[in-house]
């Protein structure tokens, strides 16, 4: 644990010497990092530094990419998620993910949110209706869509679509929410809504967000990790990282000397 991080009662993830390759090209190099429970951890760094690859290791989405492999360990509540006995589908159920570009299914708003619960055995009826409503309320979307639930999700604005995707992820009751550049395709007003939402969700979930927007990281996160060329250069409390970084490379990136 970095010297500038105060002791935290509980960690959800622990990475130990995590390395990652696409074929022969190494993209993650000896990453060791703790992700604290019910806090927002931001991952920052220039394009191509391994941020998205890293976050996708946390729920094994990279398994779907040919020639991707890792070494090291990723512990989720003490269990190595890459142990052969671990079911990657169960990991993805417990560790939800929202991607950079809003990707609602070409279905109704209701069916988008109900999709996960139905896959996992929920039956149509009052309980499913309640689960959909709960997820939409969690993302502050319910009042905007409650009268158009059976209209196409593709008719929503970009910001609404992204909140819908977050609601879809929450509908299966994950323990962790991963967000990979969730606001990069959104306007400032929609971005503000997403950031407000993250503060609310932190009360119930552990959140890891990759962002190219340093101001956003400074606004929303408790912990910030700076990646460069596949390495974790520095990690610590966000206030410390942005006001008094330990490593010169972190300071150079934050002050705009590169990136």
Can you say how many angstroms the Cα of residue 132 is from the centroid of all Cα atoms in its chain?
21
Can you say how many angstroms the Cα of residue 135 is from the centroid of all Cα atoms in its chain?
17
Could you read off the pLDDT of 190-202 as tens digits, one per residue? 999 999 999 999 9
Could you read off the pLDDT of 85-95 as tens digits, one per residue? 999 999 999 99
Question: Residue 115 corresponds to which tokens in the numbers above?
Answer: 């999709």
Instruction: Quote the pTM value.
Output: 0.92
Question: Residue 240 corresponds to which tokens in the numbers above?
Answer: 């410390």
CA distance 177 to 172: 11
Q: Considering the domain 11-254 in this protein, what is its CATH number?
A: 3.40.50.300
Could you read off the pLDDT of 181-235 as tens digits, one per residue? 999 989 999 999 999 999 999 999 999 999 989 999 999 999 999 999 999 999 9
Burial label, 125 (beta-carbon count in 10 A; 0-12, 13-18, 19+): exposed
pLDDT at 250: 96
Q: Phi and psi dihedrals of 141, rounded to 5?
A: -110, -15
3-class state of residue 176 by DSSP: strand
Write out the H or E segment, with its range, that includes residue 199.
Answer: helix 188-201
Q: Give the number of other Cβ atoms within 10 Å of residue 137's Cβ.
A: 13
pLDDT at 54: 97
């Amino acid at each position: 644990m970095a010297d500038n991080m105060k002791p935290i009662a509980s960690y959800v993830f622990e990475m130990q010497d995590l390395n990652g390759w696409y074929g022969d090209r190494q993209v993650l190099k000896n990453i060791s990092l703790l992700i604290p429970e019910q806090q927002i951890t931001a991952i920052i760094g220039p394009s191509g530094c391994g941020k998205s690859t890293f976050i996708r290791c946390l729920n094994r989405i990279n398994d779907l990419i040919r020639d991707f492999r890792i070494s090291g360990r990723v512990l989720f509540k003490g269990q190595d998620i890459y142990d052969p006995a671990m079911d990657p589908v169960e990991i993805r159920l417990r560790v939800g993910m929202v991607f950079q570009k809003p990707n609602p299914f070409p279905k109704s708003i209701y069916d988008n949110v109900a999709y996960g619960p139905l896959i996992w055995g929920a039956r149509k009826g009052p309980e499913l209706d309640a689960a959909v409503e709960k997820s939409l309320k969690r993302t502050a979307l319910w009042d905007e869509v409650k009268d158009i639930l059976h209209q196409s999700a593709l008719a929503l604005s970009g910001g609404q679509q992204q909140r819908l995707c977050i609601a879809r992820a929450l509908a299966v009751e994950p323990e962790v929410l991963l967000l990979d550049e969730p606001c990069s395709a959104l306007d400032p007003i929609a971005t503000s809504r997403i950031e407000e939402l993250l503060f609310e969700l932190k009360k119930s979930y552990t959140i890891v967000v990759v962002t190219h927007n340093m101001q956003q990281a400074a606004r929303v996160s408790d912990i910030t990790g700076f990646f460069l060329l596949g390495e974790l250069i520095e990690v610590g409390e966000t206030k410390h990282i942005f006001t008094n970084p330990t490593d010169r490379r972190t300071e150079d990136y934050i002050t705009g000397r590169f990136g």
